[in-house]
Amino acid sequence: MLSPEHPATGHKDHVSIDFARITERERYKLLIGSVVPRPIALVTTRHPDGTVNAAPFSFFNCLSADPAILALGVENQSDMSFKDTTLNVRLTEQFTVNVVDHAIMDAMNVCAVPFPSHVDELAEAGLTAVPGEAVGCPYIREAPIAFECHRYLTLGLGKSREIILGQVVRMHVREDLFDNERFYIDQLALDAVGRMGGHGYSTTREQFDLPTMSVEQWSAMKPTLQRTAG
């Protein structure tokens, strides 16, 4: 048995995997099945010829607040050529990240179809393009939140992947989600979805609070926890 239960503690043993000895596909499956849930960026870009592209990415997150940096991991095509998103960002230095909620999840999945470059994914998905205010590419009206970004830095990881860092220059947020006095986003109302492994997705409809403790609070709580554990 690979993961036997430890007889004394009830804990299961770990399987150790050497990433140098497994294939790229196996590494991919382990990573996307372990780093979950991942937020989804539905990225809109515009080619200099005016063609708009929309594509979802789950290798995505927020890396910094000052400067405000979002990160995308974009895999190249099978022939190692750039995907439309990467090419458009390189040519224009701009992109917009649209947050995916439950309401536009099916439309997001349409945007994942590998259409030819001349096809407008937003039109295929029934989504509405709104002209950007600080960038030349549009944001999506139906998205609950959108971040207009200027390219901050691009990192090439070998031949297969580009890491694109974007500095947020403007944000659009649906008014019912935003508390203007506290600068607070109503995360339950946001109803964002996340990417799991395989074809799986998750919701954010069940949440809980766990405040970070001060040293003093931990010191006061520690004896009680030790007695309970004993």
Going from the C-alpha of 171 to that of each of 33, 80, 137, 168, the distances in angstroms are 31, 32, 13, 7
Would you say the C-alpha torsion 169, 175, 176, 181 has a positive or negative sign?
A: positive
What does the domain layout of the chain look like in residue ranges?
Answer: 23-229
Instruction: Give the model's confidence band at 3: pLDDT under 50 very low, under 70 low, under 90 confident, else very high.
Output: very low
CB 130 within 8 A of CB 174: no
Write down the mean pLDDT value for the chain.
Answer: 93
Whole-number pLDDT of residue 1: 30
pLDDT score of 206: 94
Which CATH architecture describes the domain 23-229?
Answer: Roll (2.30)
User: For residue 82, what pLDDT band results from cuts at 50, 70 and 90?
Assistant: confident
Residue 230: band (very low, low, confident or very high) from pLDDT cuts 50, 70, 90: low
pLDDT tens profile 128-187: 999 999 999 999 999 999 999 999 999 998 878 899 999 999 999 999 999 999 999 999
DSSP 8-state symbol, 192: B
Contacting residues for 142 by C-beta, under 8 A, at least 6 apart: 103, 104, 107, 127, 128
H or E stretch covering 44: strand 41-46
